[in-house]
Amino acid sequence: MPTLDRDTILAWPKAELHCHLDGSLRLETMLDLAAKQDKLDVLPAEDVEGMGLELKKIDGSPTLEEYLRWFSYSIPLMQTREALHRIAYELAEDAANENVRYIEVRYGPILHTEEGLTMWQVNDAVLAGLADAERDHGIRSGIIVCGLRDRNQTTVVLCMLPIAFRSHNITSRVRIACQLLILLSNMRSSSPNTDVRPVALHGAVQVVAVAVIVTIVAAVVVAAAARTLPILRLSLSHSKLLVSRKGGQIHGPVCPCQGR
């Protein structure tokens, strides 16, 4: 009976629908960016071999906090347009080399605004990197833009991205999923020194949430006069808005953001 080996799996055409941008940096790129940005002290090691050893430790993490620690190494390096463009490009390039034909990349734009970038600039940089990789390597890509539970005030802005970019050539192949946490009857609020507890929404906030949704839907209806009609699907169970512009069809599942 034939065995399944790595070469066989690499030969299969594949689609990857849940790929974290900030968890997909090449080790060489992390070291290079850290050196250029004078942030070598952020990393847990000074060379590729050391970085590789630290990365392998993640599989044995005893807690979720330990498992997610790698993001504290990558995200500080992803605060410029150049870095975001490069990382997005290299991710798609590496995926194409593994015979991935379609990839959906997820990230939270707010995490990359610590040094002056706006969420719009973050999105531009990622889209441009993916578009360049599509041109050079033939892979197709999409993005899933995530809101964070502890920064719910940014969610509304994120949900405007599909409309703001509706005429963008790149976004004809882009899917954007936003966590509409303000729609929930309960919100989660967290602070470094307290446990996470549910906080009830006030009636005024609910009214604002409904008004925002109505505005978004109205804008999309207006956009229907263009060549492609976006399709919106609201999933309250996952608290997110899905916008697809690929020939008027929803393509594949979008996983819950799971707090990110």
Q: Where are the domains of the chain?
A: 13-244
Q: What is the CATH number of domain 13-244?
A: 3.20.20.140
Give residue-wise pLDDT tens across range 158-167: 666 655 555 4
pLDDT > 70 fraction of the chain, expressed in percent and rounded:
57
> How confident is the model over 192-247, as pLDDT tens digits?
443 333 334 445 555 666 666 666 656 655 655 444 333 333 333 333 333 333 43
Where are any strands of DSSP class E within the chain?
14-20, 100-107, 140-145, 176-179, 186-191, 194-200, 231-235, 240-244
Of the chain, the end-to-end C-alpha distance in Å amounts to 42
Q: Which pTM does this prediction carry?
A: 0.67
Give the mean pLDDT of 132-139: 96
Tell me what pLDDT residue 223 has: 56
DSSP per-residue letters across 33-48:
HHHHTT-GGGSS-SSH
